[in-house]
Amino acid sequence: MTTTPVQPSAGGEASPSSVHDARERRAALALPYTRVDDVFVDGAWIPARAAGRNPVTDPATGEVWGEVPDGSAEDVDAAVHAARHAFDAGPWPRLSPSERAAYLLRIADEIESRAEDLALTNTRENGSPITETRGAAANAAGIFRYFATLAEYLEREDVRPFPFAPGQESVVRRDPVGVCALIAPWNFPINLVVIKLAPALLAGCTVVIKPASPTPLSIRFIVDAVAAAGVPAGVVNLVTGSGRMGDLLVKHRGVDKVAFTGSTPVGRRIAAACGELLRPVTLELGGKSSAIVLPDADLDAMSKVLIRSSMRNTGQTCYISTRVLAPASRYREVVDMAGAVIAAAPQGDPLDPATVFGPNATKSQFETVLGYVESGLAEGARAVTGGRAASLGGGLEDGYFVEPTVFADVIPSMRVAREEIFGPVLTILKYDDASPSRGVDEAVALANNTEFGLGGLVFSADPEAALAVADRVDTGSIGINFFASNHSAPFGGRHDSGLGTEYGIEGLGAYLTYKSIHRKAG
């Protein structure tokens, strides 16, 4: 495969971290044009059957810097056939879980050895700040290492006596579900593949990966790591192309399970197709999560986690709490704090380590976010900071930048309060806390007044009070004074935020099918 070389700057030249022009920074890093003509099928990079190519665009500059095959039905057929053969006749499902776990540990090591090239490629694909993407390899490796620890769980003998029939018992087997289609989004193209890939491999499944069309190159480092770890041919396969490739995979007769992360509308279509085929599916979809600020909250502490919790990755994160629900008694304090924190965070070239807010990942998403900003202003929201397209120089004039925006005076009926924006936009709503008990009730009702249910936060100086509020919020995950994903705890959405869970033993269970063998107790 083609990798992106990283070259240190020579004496007397500007280092990539010191230059102020995006063009200079890319030149200092010696970032090349990257064209690939292959897909990964049956253990090898082979020429794609399709003649078409999809461009890869740097959203910070608007420049096309790469291209990949726009795959065809023949490419999908070849990948699924390889995965099917590897599952039906190959060694992978027949290895012990501990043997497969050893491969996962080797994959983790191989991923970490590719960390910097992976980060640079990821940032050039979707504009995520380099400080974000430099953590992708370590996080992916951590996911593989965590799932490797679950081999013992799979190997544990599970014998269950009949409740009312002495002398009879059932042996419960946990078998791999089969060939899995893993379809990933563009916002976190590495970790949102790996959280599917690691449990699927430990379970004994084989897979076909289809990355989002804007981010097809960074995932090649993961596939290279799999190959370098010695995983047998056909176990992991990769195809690239537009959304129709995902549709071909979802409906392919050789696929046994689908795992998808992306938008709710696309998730509905996938769910409908899988329902018709009686095919299991995991869907991690959109969100419109809330951060409930209780009257006793420490706003200084909140300010230190606000961007990570509510605007991570330039607002392009599914679980972040983009709605802040503030008590009327402290509304102005919350608005002033949020406006100051967001306004002070640097926006610019995502390859600059000082950058906090980068561009939107695609031109269409940039236009979507601007549309939401305009609707918020039109409906009466007040832009405390931001509120328009960003005007940046230094080679970023054609990038897809929206100013990080904080809206105050937001009411629940506004579009910016109801719909997922997926950009750097934070809304602050007010609840009446004149009566403490009714105030909590109103805050919880506001948090639950959404079609989604993915993330959330409660800020309070009283851990027990915060836990009581968290228990009442109808969501799959919620944090108290911070939010983070725990590899060992289930992560999944309710309502329009999806079906099923990822992470933890529960996430492993999504790649298993069960068999009960009934027998006389010996």
Q: Give the Cα-Cα-Cα angle 489, 304, 288 (nearest 5 degrees).
A: 55
Q: Tell me what pLDDT residue 436 has.
A: 86
Strands of the 179-183 sheet, one edge to the other = 44-47, 38-41, 236-238, 206-210, 179-183, 257-261, 281-284, 498-499
Which neighbouring-strand residues pair with 69?
Answer: 53
**Among 343, 428, 349, 429, which Cα is nearest to 386's?**
343
d(CA 180, CA 324): 38
pLDDT value, residue 349: 97
Looking at residue 87, its amino acid is F
Q: What is the pTM of this model?
A: 0.94
Among 63, 318, 403, 420, which one carries the catalytic annotation?
A: 318
pLDDT of residue 8: 27
Token couple for 269: 């279509």
Annotated domain spans of the chain: 36-156+173-285+503-509, 290-486
Position 298, amino acid: D
Helix (H) or strand (E) holding 130: helix 130-133
pLDDT at position 19 is 56
Catalytic residue among 67, 125, 284, 502: 284
pLDDT of residue 411: 97
- Residue 271 is predicted with a pLDDT of 97
Paired strand residues for 427: 323, 407
318 a catalytic residue: yes
Name residue, tokens 């939010």.
483
Using 70 as the pLDDT threshold, list the residues of the chain that sit under it.
1-19
Question: Span 36-156+173-285+503-509: which CATH code?
Answer: 3.40.605.10
pLDDT digits (tens, 9 = 90+) for 191-238: 999 999 999 999 999 999 999 999 999 999 999 999 999 999 999 999
- Distance (Å, rounded) from C-alpha 109 to C-alpha 137? 10
Annotated catalytic residue 502: no
What distance in Å separates the CA atoms of residue 498 and residue 263, rounded to the nearest whole number?
9
**Which CATH architecture describes the domain 290-486?**
3-Layer(aba) Sandwich (3.40)
Q: What distance in Å separates the CA atoms of residue 46 and residue 199, rounded to the nearest whole number?
A: 26
Tell me, what's the pLDDT at 437? 87
User: For residue 9, what is the DSSP state?
Assistant: P
Residue 15: predicted pLDDT: 41
